[in-house]
Amino acid sequence: VARAARLNLPGSGALVGYVHNAYSPNMGRTGAAVALASETSNIRALRELGQKLAMHVVAAAPIALNKESIDLSLIQKERDILTEQAKSSGKPQNVIDKMVSGRLNKYFKEVALLEQAYVLDEQAGSVREVLAAESTRLGTSVELAGFARYHVGESS
């Protein structure tokens, strides 16, 4: 086993998995699992949401749950790259700082799961907004407690 993940639920909820292009039950090239924390009694709805979110994780390949959980070294590396690109524009430093800030926010929306645009329904907004809408529909909080994504051949 090259990698393993531990997903914890702080209380009630559901752990749901999805395998993309399965060639036999639970066997495929890419898979994901999500942990949804909720006190809802509607476990079927929670599992359906979990299935869709796991599909999203397979498709969008987030690297972190939210921007606060992105490795600081990755953020600094991205900031350095964006700063160098912006400096080549010849603009003043205050403009460069704003450019870098805006591009970093775009980066967070690409790699942080809760900030990503929900790929199964682009009209639904971000994954965070999908969770908020589902919380309202179920009448209780639904939170994404964690996720894991695996692809054959990946080492990290």
- Going by the DSSP 8-state scheme, the letter that residue 27 receives in this structure is B
Pick left, alpha or beta for residue 125 (phi over 0 → left; psi -120 to 50 → alpha; otherwise beta).
left
Per-residue confidence band for 8, with pLDDT thresholds at 50, 70 and 90: confident
Statement: residue 156 has pLDDT above 70: no
Looking at the chain, the domain(s) classified CATH 3.30.479.20 span 1-65+119-156
Give 1-65+119-156's CATH code, choosing from 3.40.50.300, 3.40.50.2300, 3.30.479.20, 3.90.480.20: 3.30.479.20
For residue 27, the model assigns a pLDDT of 76
Give Cβ neighbours of residue 135 (< 8 Å, ≥ 6 apart).
Answer: 38, 141, 142
CATH topology of domain 71-111: GTP Cyclohydrolase I; Chain A, domain 1 (1.10.286)
Q: Could you tell me the pTM of the whole model?
A: 0.86
Q: Quick check: 104 and 111 in contact, CB under 8 A? A: no
* Tens-digit pLDDT profile for residues 47-105: 999 999 999 999 999 999 999 999 999 999 999 999 999 988 888 899 999 999 999 99
